[in-house]
Chain A
Amino acid sequence: MKIRILVSFKDSVLDPQGQTVMNALHTLGYGFVKNARQGKVFELEVEGLSREQAETAIPELADRVLANPIIEKFSWQVLET
């Protein structure tokens, strides 16, 4: 099974990198961009894990390792089964 996890700053945390990206886009004329947030992508290939087990295990590992829950949030999806 292939799983994709997205980690980004919580909305309450300032993201200067995202803002810099937005400013660059504005400079290039893409004024329609109203906000940009930058994050990280993880793609995990997992074995011997049922979909049900993944529902527990993936949020657990994302919370413990991939994201720092003080400043970051995450979401995840199954890419391939």
Chain B
Amino acid sequence: MKFGVVVFPGSNCDFDAYHVLGSVLKQDTVFLWHKDHDLRGCDCVILPGGFSYGDYLRSGAIARFSPLMREVAEFAERGGLVMGICNGFQILLEMGLLPGAMLRNKRLKFLCQFVHLRLEKEETPFTRLGRRGQVLRIPIAHYEGNYYAPVETLEELERGGQVVFRYCDPEGRLSTEANVNGALNSIAGIINRRGNVMGLMPHPERASEAVMGSQDGRLIFDSLVKSLR
């Protein structure tokens, strides 16, 4: 089982993801340079957070054209597991591997804080160790995480049970206040219909050790390890 963390110019959570997978979970983990054309036999590809290409044009809009992304798209097409965190989620949206787009946060603020997330779907390779309704405490750090999709797309996502995480209060209740960035339907993370590509705005790699103030992010990485075993 091998994890690959894609590195773009401007990625800044690549080492965090590498650290959690490699040092905390003791998994075989490699960096994948965005200009390469080889996934090096990885079983799971992580698109990390950061500001790929300085967020020029739109978040994730240029990274999508990186050479390696063709391999990533084919890998996803074959059913390979791909997870996009924050900027990685934005890249997946720009690539069209996940539906929708990101708008600037309501109130136009960069938000860097812990949030609560309600797990909506446990039947995924990314969340299989959780249970529906469970509340996770994981930080966010973004300016454009206000999830948007046209009404029909949104209805399709909800009908298909593709919403994996929603922003909530500590008790798991949804509210306007808990929906810090203004995302439609409080959406914090979604998965594709096939169930092998997930994107989420919060940073589980920043909440996977006690010293970081929360280990709730481990649920996602541990689930992945179990899925690939």
Q: How many Å lie between the Cα of A16 and that of B105 in the bound state? A: 9
The size bracket of the interface on A is 10 to 19
In the complex the two chains form, is B103's CB within 8 Å of A68's CB? no
* A70 partner, pick from B100, B106, B107, B108, beta carbons under 8 A: B100
Q: Does A28 contact B (CB under 8 A)?
A: no
Q: Mark B84-123, 1 if CB is under 8 A from A, else 0.
A: 0000000000100000110110111000000000000000
Q: Does B57 contact A (CB under 8 A)?
A: yes
In the complex the two chains form, is A70's CB within 8 Å of B149's CB? yes
Q: Does B58 contact A (CB under 8 A)?
A: yes
In the complex the two chains form, is A17's CB within 8 Å of B100's CB? no
In the complex the two chains form, is B61's CB within 8 Å of A65's CB? yes
Q: Does A44 contact B (CB under 8 A)?
A: no
For A66, list chain B residues within 8 Å (CB). 57
For A71, list chain B residues within 8 Å (CB). 101, 103, 148
The size bracket of the interface on B is 10 to 19
* A68 partner, pick from B101, B106, B107, B108, beta carbons under 8 A: B101
Q: Does B150 contact A (CB under 8 A)?
A: yes
* Given A68-B61, A68-B94, A17 contacting B104 (CB threshold 8 A): yes
In the complex the two chains form, is A16's CB within 8 Å of B106's CB? yes
For A13, list chain B residues within 8 Å (CB). 103, 148
In the complex the two chains form, is A70's CB within 8 Å of B148's CB? yes
Q: Does A25 contact B (CB under 8 A)?
A: no
Q: Does A57 contact B (CB under 8 A)?
A: no
Q: How many Å lie between the Cα of A17 and that of B106 in the bound state? A: 10
For A14, list chain B residues within 8 Å (CB). 103
B128-156 at interface with A (beta carbon < 8 Å): 148-150
For B108, list chain A residues within 8 Å (CB). 16-17, 20
Chain A residues near B (Cβ < 8 Å): 13-14, 16-17, 20, 65-66, 68, 70-71
A–B complex contacts, Cβ < 8 Å, 9 sampled? A13-B103, A14-B103, A16-B104, A16-B106, A16-B108, A17-B104, A65-B57, A70-B100, A71-B103
Chain B residues near A (Cβ < 8 Å): 57-58, 61, 94, 100-101, 103-104, 106-108, 148-150
Closest 4 CB pairs of A and B: A70-B101, A71-B101, A16-B108, A68-B101
